[in-house]
Amino acid sequence: MAKRRTFVFIAGGVMSGVGKGVASASLGAILKARGLKVTAVKIDPYINVDAGTMNPVEHGEVFVTRDGDETDQDIGNYERFLDEDILKVNYMTTGRVYLSVIQRERALGYGGKTVEVVPHVPQEVIGRIQAAAKHHDADVTIIEIGGTVGEYQNVLFLEAARMMQIATPEDVLVGLVSYFPVPSAIGEMKTKPTQYAVRTLNSAGIRPDFIIGRSTHPIDEPRKQKMAIQCSVHPEDIFSAPDVRSVYSVPQVMEKEGLGVQVVKKLKLRADKPDLRYWKKLVASIEHSQKPVRIGIVGKYAASGDFNLSDAYISVIESVKHAAWSIGRKPEIVWIDAGDLENGKRKVEGIKQLRKLDGILVPGGFGSRGVEGKIFAAQYAREHKIPYLGLCYGMQLACVEFARHVLHHKGANTTEIDPTTTHPVIHLMNEQEEKMKNKSYGGSMRLGAYLCRLKAGSLARKLYGESAIEERHRHRYEFNSDYRKAFEEKGMMISGESPDGTLAEIIELKKHPFFMGTQAHPEFLSRPFKPHPLFLGFIKAAIRK
């Protein structure tokens, strides 16, 4: 007999950005803690086929999966909370769904039928959800529907949920993560916006099986009772998720509220008693980490104001936190706008900021804005012996800096910025030339996990504790090996390379407490219980400083 598979849809009510991703991931975590096999699917309602072509300021971080999909940052939440690899099958967008339907139609895959938005589009969505469940052999698949109910663009996904619930009601639940405002002028929690969200769900033919109430405060008993009557949801199926200091306490909060018990009961799952020891230990270690370590992240922020910065670099931030907590330190992240390190008065202020740091991190990036500031940050770290970690662009720009100031190649650059530079220390990868000529930009970078060999005697080798590793990538440019000899002669070691020896993957300075750049994105592999070795090495060096 085929294994029974169950599905929990999570939709959002009232407004976006209330933590649907963390709620979905936390539900996954408390189910996994009961010995169930869990996976999670994210549906993004936009037409883009993947998140790779979107501006991170607008959309947040692009999270790269092991198999090379450019996805939404929530996939990162799932990986961190579930400690499972989440793959291409776990991610879909409206664009991706329509593309498949149209391609199937062109291949006569519908056998001459009229292909219609309903049911063919939701059927494609359902097929994809089931494929993910099967691929991961999941008992429970959590499906997060991006956006908020009532938006025109997620109607077809709600329709997919409805169709699945009608076909197998015993195997499908729908939860609503909704916002309960406490307006300061009124001073009390309001339930009406969520009541409207539930009505909207109702008009899509769905009665939510449970509601997770996000708010600054817990939802009190009278309000739960009121909601129950208004929304036809039992009071014990309304769960409070008030603001907490760390997202990693959400699984425990949800467990205490009874979410795990109710979901198991409703789906009639055979599950063990929940074992949340790891989560408890993690939260305790976060609380006990008092002594700060100050890490500056030099990025591009100006265009987003203060609001999106943490989203664009979320995996980097989490990686710094995981490493710091694991050694009892409180991560203090200082945002440094690369533009502040470029010229004039702002630069004086920028340098003041750099001076106070224990470590400097330059994350990935694209394009010319802020590049000179990032190059300056690398130079400052190198010259002042401040621990430096460069991720992808941060590695490439550290190479540019080294070429300019140590090898004295004045105009050295990456050809991404200056295509006619006399010293192209970073240049387009061979395989990319043709793609760029054909304007083939979508999903065409060097993406996903690649093997890397580590040089004996290097710091990288010591930190990883292995001679070969796998890291995820997302780039078009690479270190130009014509400069390899000159770099090594002056003390910049290529300590990691692709198995065929053609690509420089990790660089490190010999005479420096910690100066390392990696062409990869190690931030995608850090987990709260397993900090990434490079981040750990970096934070330890920062503390020694």
Q: Which is nearer to ligand GLN, 331 or 365 (CB)?
A: 365
Of the candidate residues 366, 407, 418, 435, the single one contacting ligand GLN (CB under 6 A): 366
Q: Which is nearer to ligand GLN, 18 or 447 (CB)?
A: 447
Helix axes 221-231, 192-203, angle to 10 degrees: 30
Could you give the string, one character per residue 307-346, with x where binding to ligand GLN holds by CB under 6 A and - elsewhere?
Answer: ----------------------------------------
Closest C-alpha among 363, 370, 372, 402 to residue 508: 402
Q: Which is nearer to ligand GLN, 133 or 317 (CB)?
A: 317
Count of CB atoms situated within 10 Å of the CB of 122: 21
We find the least distance from the C-beta atom of residue 426 to ligand GLN, in angstroms, to be: 7
Residue 475 is a binding residue for ligand GLN (CB under 6 A):
yes
The active-site residue, picked from 59, 423, 473, 521, is 521
The active-site residue, picked from 392, 497, 512, 532, is 392
Q: Which is nearer to ligand GLN, 441 or 529 (CB)?
A: 441
The runs of H, that is alpha helices, within 296-370 are 309-312, 314-326, 344-355
Binding segment toward ligand GLN, per CB under 6 A, in 37-45, 68-76, 167-175, 392-400: 392-400
Of the candidate residues 142, 392, 503, 525, the single one contacting ligand GLN (CB under 6 A): 392
We find the least distance from the C-beta atom of residue 368 to ligand GLN, in angstroms, to be: 10
Residue 474 is a binding residue for ligand GLN (CB under 6 A):
yes
Of the candidate residues 52, 365, 448, 517, the single one contacting ligand GLN (CB under 6 A): 365
We find the least distance from the C-beta atom of residue 380 to ligand GLN, in angstroms, to be: 20
Residue 517 is a binding residue for ligand GLN (CB under 6 A):
no
Residue 479 is a binding residue for ligand GLN (CB under 6 A):
no
Count of CB atoms situated within 10 Å of the CB of 177: 29
Environment class of 363 (CB within 10 Å of its CB; exposed 0-12, middle 13-18, buried 19+): buried
Of the candidate residues 393, 483, 535, 538, the single one contacting ligand GLN (CB under 6 A): 393
Q: Cβ contacts of residue 438 below 8 Å, gap of 6+?
A: none
Q: Is 231 a catalytic residue?
A: no
Q: Cβ contacts of residue 391 below 8 Å, gap of 6+?
A: 316, 361, 362, 363, 364, 517, 518, 520, 521, 522, 523
The active-site residue, picked from 61, 508, 523, 532, is 523
Residues touching ligand GLN, count (CB under 6 A): 11
Cα→Cα distances 151→148, 159, 179, 205, 377, Å? 6, 13, 16, 15, 43
We find the least distance from the C-beta atom of residue 367 to ligand GLN, in angstroms, to be: 7
Cα(265)–Cα(241) distance, rounded to whole angstroms? 20
Parallel, antiparallel or unpaired: strands 388-391 and 504-509? unpaired
Q: CA torsion 444→445→446→448, rounded to 10°?
A: -80
We find the least distance from the C-beta atom of residue 309 to ligand GLN, in angstroms, to be: 16
We find the least distance from the C-beta atom of residue 81 to ligand GLN, in angstroms, to be: 24
The β-bridge partners of 41 are: 143
Residue 476 is a binding residue for ligand GLN (CB under 6 A):
yes
Binding segment toward ligand GLN, per CB under 6 A, in 123-131, 224-232, 331-339, 363-371: 363-371
Amino acid at 222: P
Q: Which residue is nearest to ligand GLN (CB)?
A: 364
Q: Which is nearer to ligand GLN, 7 or 479 (CB)?
A: 479
Token pair, residue 36, equals: 């169930």
Q: Is 523 a catalytic residue?
A: yes
Token pair, residue 253, equals: 């909060």
212 and 190 in contact (C-beta within 8 Å)?
A: no
Residue 472 is a binding residue for ligand GLN (CB under 6 A):
no
CA torsion sign for 262, 267, 273, 279 is negative
We find the least distance from the C-beta atom of residue 397 to ligand GLN, in angstroms, to be: 9
Binding segment toward ligand GLN, per CB under 6 A, in 30-38, 175-183, 246-254, 390-398: 390-398
We find the least distance from the C-beta atom of residue 399 to ligand GLN, in angstroms, to be: 11
39 and 133 in contact (C-beta within 8 Å)?
A: yes
Query: φ and ψ at 518, to 5 degrees?
Result: -130, 135
Cα(493)–Cα(508) distance, rounded to whole angstroms? 5
Residue 542 is a binding residue for ligand GLN (CB under 6 A):
no
Q: Is 488 a catalytic residue?
A: no
We find the least distance from the C-beta atom of residue 232 to ligand GLN, in angstroms, to be: 48
Could you give the string, one character per residue 409-448, with x where binding to ligand GLN holds by CB under 6 A and - elsewhere?
Answer: -------x--------------------------------
Q: Which residues of 449-467 are buried (b: 16+ CB within 10 A; e: fewer)?
A: bbebbbbeebbbbebbeee
443 and 52 in contact (C-beta within 8 Å)?
A: yes
Residues taking part in catalysis: 392, 521, 523
**Rule CB under 6 A: which residues touch ligand GLN?**
364-366, 392-393, 396, 416, 474-477
